Amino acid sequence: MRVGVPKEVAPSERRVALVPDAAGRLVKGGGFEVVVERGAGTAASCPDEAYKAAGASVADRAAVLGQADVVLQVQPPTSADIAQYREGAALVALSLSGGDGSLVRQLAQRKLTAFSLVLLPRITRAQPMDALSSQATVAGYKAVLLAASATGRFFPMLVTAAGTLPAARVLVLGAGVAGLQAIATARRLGAIVSAFDVRPAVKEQVQSLGAQFLEMTIEEHAETAGGYAKELSEETHRKELAFLATAAKDADIVITTAAIPGKKAPVLITAAAVQGMKPGSVIVDLAAETGGNCELTEPGTEIVRNGVVILGPVNLPSTLPLHASQMYAKNLSAFLGHVVQDGRLRLDFEDPIIRDTCVTHAGEVRKT
């Protein structure tokens, strides 16, 4: 089976779907033929020569897309790319959201079997394929570095000849993968860290990283069967906003990571809460791409309101392209090992991994 890896063309995307090591393992241990577009890994510090040394071949884009049995990508393909895919081929990408559904319909019309890894079920045997978590790890880490760069203070307590400087106080909202990585990174830098999540079950994880867990009485069940946070009732959300506004007053850094799958990100920091924060405070909103956890966030932009710096970064994993690509490549390799057997796709739609991630197959749209 021939695996094609095209260069990502989305603006500011520096990741690549397969790094040379992963390509080599597929060639030598998986029985795959891997073809990589020229320059596909350059932005992720993966030169063409490294792919060749690993046993992969390098070709132009038309050959990669038109001759592959399975195409591996990070971002969704363009309409022009879809037209070049071999009819009946397979595609695996991190996300295949087309907004109005036009992209998915094009994939179906081309009779492509397309998989979206953001739809992967949260079950134990799917963990090696969990690209959403691997990329969230990168985002949580980088969010703290952005905050450290934007703040006017040190993170750790420092005792100097000029006096003692207190440690920065960091508040992390949301204790999923990104939030936990943000907590761990801020603690490594010496900050005093507290965290909030509507799911009481994450308290132990937060405390194990050396952070304080802020507890608020929530009378409703705030967690889905899959372990994600779910949308709160209007009354409970009002209480949550008041609770977080008080917590944010004492914070030097606020990092927000809260998301509800398939929905707009919940607002956790209102404009009024920002006004109550100390001048010089910093908010890094990791939910900027899905509406923002801060009411004032502007995606892709740094703004200042009432002396508070608000960062709305987008596609943070792409800013650490080498390690982000390495993790994503391992996720893809594990997924390929699950869906391909004896050189052919194994499409058992009773299997939740295949059933939940398959967006189009045999000319039909299975998920929008």
Q: Where are the domains of the chain?
A: 2-119+321-361, 139-318
Please give the Cα distance from 65 to 101 (Å, whole number).
22
Q: Are 89 and 71 in contact (CB under 8 A)?
A: yes
**Residues 264, 226, 127, CA angle at the centre, nearest 5°?**
105
CA-based radius of gyration for the chain: 22
Q: List CB contacts of 357: < 8 A, sequence separation 6 or more.
A: 115, 116, 117, 119, 120, 335
**Residue 80 CB neighbours (<10 A):** 10
For strands 344-345 and 340-341, give the pairing. antiparallel
Which pLDDT value is given to residue 89?
A: 97
Predicted local distance difference test score (pLDDT) of residue 230: 59
Q: Name the CATH superfamily housing domain 2-119+321-361.
A: NAD(P)-binding Rossmann-like Domain (3.40.50.720)
What is the structure's pLDDT at 367?
Answer: 87
Select from 363, 328, 362, 355 the least CA-distant residue to 339: 355
Rounded Cα gap, residues 291 and 297, in angstroms: 8
125 part of the active site: no
Catalytic residue, chosen from 122, 153, 188, 355, is: 122
Catalytic residue, chosen from 57, 67, 97, 133, is: 133
Q: Check residue 223 and give its pLDDT.
A: 56
Q: Is the CATH number 3.40.50.720 carried by domain 139-318? A: yes
The two domains 2-119+321-361 and 139-318 share their CATH topology (first three levels equal): yes
How far CA 31 is from CA of 16, 114, 128, 343, in Å, comes to 21, 21, 20, 8
pLDDT at 35: 98
CA distance 153 to 119: 40
d(CA 294, CA 74): 27
Q: Is 122 a catalytic residue?
A: yes
Q: Is the pTM of this model over 0.75?
A: yes
Q: E-assigned strands of the chain?
A: 2-5, 33-37, 57-59, 70-72, 90-93, 113-116, 158-160, 163-165, 169-173, 192-196, 212-213, 253-256, 282-285, 302-305, 308-311, 340-341, 344-345, 358-361, 364-365
Question: Which residue out of 45, 79, 127, 275 is catalytically annotated?
Answer: 127
Active site residue 21: no
**pLDDT averaged over 10-residue windows placed end to end, the chain, 368 residues:** 97 97 94 96 98 98 97 96 95 82 93 96 96 97 98 95 95 97 98 95 96 85 57 85 97 95 90 97 97 97 97 97 98 97 92 96 91
Q: Do the strands 33-37 and 212-213 form a parallel or antiparallel pair, or are they unpaired?
A: unpaired
Name the catalytic one among 48, 69, 81, 130: 130
Which member of 228, 305, 351, 355 is catalytic? Answer: 228
Task: Give the containing element (helix H, strand E) for 80.
Answer: helix 79-84
The angle formed by the CA atoms of residues 241, 246 and 249, to the nearest 5 degrees, is 125
130 is annotated as an active-site residue: yes
Q: What is the pLDDT of residue 55?
A: 97
